[in-house]
Amino acid sequence: MVRVLLKCIAACGRVCGVVKGPHPSHWTGNLAMASLSTRSGTSPLDISGLYPPIATPFNKDESIAYDKLTNNLQRWNEIPFRGYVVQGSNGEYAYQTVEERVEMVRHVVQLCGDDKLIIAGSGCESTRETIEMTQKMADVGAKAVLVVTPCYYKGGMSNDALVHHFSVVADHSPIPIILYSVPSNTTIDLAPEVIIRLSEHPNIIGLKDSGGDISKLGNLVYMTKKNDFQILAGSAGFLLPAYVVGCVGGVCALGNFLGKEMCELERLYKEGRMAEAKDLQHRMVAPNACVTRRFGVPGLKVAMDWFGYYGGPTRSPLMPMSETDTKAMRDIFVRNGFLSN
């Protein structure tokens, strides 16, 4: 498998150039940044490991069910996750107020303390608002922030615009920044040349990439390694290949209900038990597709309910799954050995 992946990288790797944008000498901003993440002194924050991008539990009236969140976290805390991503795509952050987004992070930080690394989604459409949200997330205890690609004015999101956006946010952030490329939602696949350029910024320490292009990930690992830049797989569907090409972990929706299995895959890989790891990865592909690109957050929440977590309803305008789709998804989980008939 490793040979196949390396061959794929050699055949498909993109040639990366240089992007115009702020020169490193112009990166200033928050003085606290220097003590938290520097490339010339102490090492940047280590984000290696596995993280579920936790779902936001809602009551029937679509208010946030903090009691259900507490119950879910008590179970997740028994799994050897490195930490949690709060207010990512699977958290339905786009449908929440500023106050709700911040309070969710505060709640998780208070329940987990220092035992888990909490990464908060702080991305907004404008640079100014993203800076403000990032500061709020830092204030309630997040150790790093995940900043999604702005996309509403897609035609204006040139490489230069994106370099400028992420650079200015990082300049002003008191905690490290992790880039978040999720083209299935934003329709913008963050270009390798943009990522490589941004990897030079002392307060941009990594990338979560949900695109699934293994040749791209392998090339990025190689091109950014001198900058201590860390790359996380954005889906369990390609977690093992991502590890093989040098990614340091993953932020995977499947971890919301198959966390033990996801951590087992990581363990098998690190112990060199590749045949077993490959078998488990193969079994994860179809269920993962169900709760990501096929049925999305509604599918994720149904699966959580199946496995004894609280998924609950989505927030409008997301709709609940139909009985037909629910049955189709359950058949896939049964076929891959994660549920019985």
- Catalytically active residues are 180, 208
The annotation status of 102 as a binding-site residue, yes or no, is no
Give the pair of three-digit tokens for residue 319. 């709709």
Q: Three-state DSSP class for 319? A: coil
Dist CA 57 CA 323 (whole Å): 21
Half-sphere exposure of 195 (CA within 13 A, CB side): 31
Half-sphere exposure of 73 (CA within 13 A, CB side): 24
Q: Which residue has the tokens 């339905």?
A: 92
* Tally of helices (H runs) and strands (E runs) in the chain: 14, 8
CB distance 8 to 214 below 8 Å: yes
Q: Hey, CA dihedral for 80, 83, 87, 88, is it positive or negative? A: negative
Other C-beta atoms closer than 10 Å to the C-beta of 258 total 25
In 3-state terms, the chain is what percent helix, strand and coil (to 5)?
A: 50, 10, 35
Residue positions in the annotated binding site for pyruvate? Answer: 251
Residue positions in the annotated binding site? Answer: 251
